[in-house]
Amino acid sequence: QYIEITSNLPNNANIYGIGETPDYFRRDPTNSTKTLWNRDAADPFRENVYGSHSVYMELRQGKFHGAYLHNSHGMDIVLANSTIQYRVLGGTADFYFFAGSSALAVIDQYTELVGRPNRIPYWSLGFHNCRYGYKSVYEVNEVIANYSKANIPLEVAWTDIDYMDKTRDFTFDPVNFPLEDMHKQLQNLHKNNQRMVLMTDPAIQHNTSYVSYSRGHELDVFIKNEDGSEFIGQVWPGYTVFPDWFAPNVDKWWHTELGEFFDKLPMDGMWIDMNEASSFCTGSCGTGKPADEIPVYPWTVESPLPHRDINTTNLFLVPPYAIHNPLAEISDKTIETTAVHSNGIIEYHVHNLYGYMESKTTREFLLQYRPNIRPFLLSRSTFSGSGAL
């Protein structure tokens, strides 16, 4: 459960990469700890956020070289005392080195390994509008119109989860975002050579009256607890289950749900969000709860419940080495690290791959649904090779 590898660096080395983290472009070689553990956090300075990329390049004596550790486990990469040190919570030390000697050559060699970026639609290079909190499709229509009035070229109008009915995937709010008026918006956008992108989350409301859950449950596509029951966290629609991207039937289920969604509204692209994966509670907090119970969002509670007792005897919940993920447990605000995938692998080993795996099957759907149209897909959570699927 712990691998440590240290290599010397020149004094004041010029290191670039190791993310995802808000930080200065050139990493501080004297005091940097880069944590790779995908986390729902917007922009905390120098902390881990949505993606994990254990690759860096160094500029030394006018030439670039690079190094990449192919490992999905949580880790700290520490720059200090003229060294780079990897502290990894498992897996193997599968290193690749790129000789360069230009920055472009390093990138070329790295992407030859993890995959070249896919080509994106030409229209996606234009100006986009996106914001959480629009109250209705009519407000979004007004925003789109105001771009034209201001002579600002708008290529794409995005809508966040506001369009959903009770924040459930593949649905439309019948009052504020009725499907008929969403169709009109899409038609008007297309008439002006503009595009529409909508958000989809992986978390599925745990409720047998919700058809996307019922079909997924029947096909056995959700992540499990150690006792074989479904792992139930909390996200926007309440208590939720999470697709297991390793499950044999998950592609069939996910593609069916997306196909019906696109049949209702043939939008131009997708934004998959909350796929670190994010959960608002720790552990399977929805286990044993009534299906129609909708918990309050934790940040709205004046006196939140204390954190659960930390089980230090379970080394997959509390590893011997604590990476610098700034929460009480590495399972906080995400899927429990002891949750089980259909292939028997626990979340601890593949946590950083969740968004990558969702991206992979979602892109496959888009290619099948519109085989002659270049897909547009944006994923919040990423891993090395994302975008080259």
Give tens-digit pLDDT for 249-291.
999 999 999 999 999 999 999 999 999 999 999 999 999 999 8
Separation CA 9–CA 4 (nearest Å): 16
3-class state of residue 145 by DSSP: helix
- What is the pLDDT, as a whole number, of residue 182? 98
Taking only Cα atoms into account, the Rg of the chain, rounded to an integer number of angstroms, comes to 22
Separation CA 305–CA 102 (nearest Å): 53
Interval 319-336 mean pLDDT:
97
Instruction: Reply yes or no: is the peptide bond before residue 291 cis, omega within 30 of 0.
Output: no
Enter the pTM of the model.
0.96
Res 389 pLDDT > 70: no
Q: Do residues 222 and 241 touch, judged by C-beta distance below 8 A? A: yes
Write the burial class of residue 53 (CB in 10 Å: 0-12 exposed, 13-18 middle, 19+ buried): buried
Q: What is the residue-averaged pLDDT of the chain?
A: 97
- What is the pLDDT, as a whole number, of residue 352? 98
Is residue 375 very low, low, confident or very high in pLDDT (cuts 50, 70, 90)? very high
